[in-house]
Structure 1
């Protein structure tokens, strides 16, 4: 029961973080591992549990939803789903010992992208000439990453879109949650049928994430985005440091 309450609390916090600034999986994944779930299974379980949260948050931002410039949203959804399938298949073929070894570094990579991805996107925007085919191609790669691991994929999408489009922040918030849900929902089917899910922990995480995601998505506009982002970056950095200490300390 203590593990269930702990995981549910992590889901509440992770869902709220995803709604406000992203990076919720940096809480949910280590929480599942701390509750005794193997890292590969924790990755799959977290993916399944956070899909409804992403949908709930996208619903909260529904009034800001728009198509991308010269690109239908259905196309973006299709390449996200295809990428998510490939990423899920890649995870299913990864041995547990290999994933245990790369898990901390995937978290570290995600935290660095979360912290510096937006600045990198703005810098590239001033230097890169965008071809129309670049946006769906980039989204496909993001889909593969999202289906395999997913840490900071929402931030990666927003950083990529900030380079390739002129979309508003609120529009990107709505789209990233819906596309994240699309790629993760598809990957989740493979994880479920592949037998990777720890159902008791997934249920607790799911309930907490949905509540946290919807409440934060509904009230998140009242928060200072810059302050919220700094707090999330600080929390994520501490968690990743603890993961490295636990594995290599």
Structure 2
């Protein structure tokens, strides 16, 4: 019962975070590992569990989607689904050690870009004398790379997604949030299709169901809350989430200090 309660609460928090600013994987994954799942199975299970919550959030935002520059939402979603499926395949086929070592640095980069992206973008546009931004091809290539990452690991893929949109196109974080949620849902849905067939996630159906139920409730609640937050406050929530996850991830990778007294 205590394990189910932990997984249910973790799912609710993860679903809420994904709807508001991203980062649900950093709550769901440790919770599943804590109740006995292997890291790879926990990663697959957390992705599966977060899909309904992401879809629920996407449904709430369905009328508020904004194109990313000149790139249509349809093209962006297709690339997200393709990359998510490929990333899921890499998770099941390759060791995670090398890529996992790069995750903290990716998060740190994304956090810095989110904090200063709009100002940097404006400064670059002024210095270079241009008013445009990234081309549609560049946006799609970048989205494909991030989708592969999202299918492989998933942690903070939404935050990483907003970073190039901010610095490359000057897209406001709050305005781009609905599109981020839809693209995250496409990545998770594509990865889930493979995980359900090829991973061990279904070996723990009760834990998976508990986290799934919590994530749906959190996804719906978080999406409604995010729609009512002022743009500045929403950016603050997303940046706070990004900074917290980056610091915690670096700390979790540091070996414990070994003090010796003489």
Q: How big is each residue's C-alpha offset from its partner over 1:103-152, in whole Å with a ceiling of 9 and x where there is no partner? A: 86365345424532313644366448633310111111111111111111
Change (3 A) 1:54 1:244: same
> Take 1:34 and 1:106, find their aligned partners in 2: how far apart are those partners?
23
Secondary structure of 1:133 counterpart: helix
In 2, the alpha carbon distance for the partners of 1:110 and 1:130 equals 20
Quote the residue 1:40 is aligned against: 40
Contact 2:44/2:199 (CA < 8 Å) preserved in 1? Answer: no
Cα 1:238–1:169 shift into 2, 3 Å: closer
TM-score (norm: length of structure 1):
0.85
Instruction: Write out per-residue CA displacement over residues 62-105 of structure 1, whole angstroms, 9 at most, x where no aligned residue.
Output: 332133332221111111111112111111102xxx43x45863
Rg larger for:
2
Q: Deviations over 1:134-179 (max 9, x none)?
A: 0111111111111111111101111111133354434411111111
Farther off after superposition, 195-204 or 124-133: 124-133
Determine which of 108, 113, 118 is the counterpart of 1:112.
108
Distance 2:6 2:247 in 1: 18
| Aligned match of 1:188 | 192
Q: Which moved more, 1:236-245 or 1:206-215?
A: 236-245
Tell me how large the CA RMSD over aligned residues is. Answer: 2.5
SS in 1 for 2:47: helix
Aligned residues: 243
* TM-score between both structures, scaled by the size of structure 2: 0.81
Unaligned runs of 5+ in 2: 126-132, 257-262
What is the aligned counterpart of 2:141 among 130, 137, 156? 137
Taking the TM superposition and a 5 Å limit, the aligned residue runs for 1:70-149 are 70-94=70-94, 98-99=95-96, 101=97, 105=101, 108-109=104-105, 111-113=107-109, 115-119=111-115, 121-122=117-118, 123=120, 126-127=123-124, 130-149=134-153
Residues 92 and 199 in structure 2, CA contact (< 8 A), matched pair in contact too: no
CA distances 1:186-237 after superposition (whole Å, capped 9, x unpaired): 1111111003314322211111111111112102333732543355346535
Is the CA contact (8 Å cut-off) linking 1:146 and 1:153 kept in structure 2? yes
The runs of at least 4 consecutive aligned structure 1 residues that moved more than 6 Å come to none
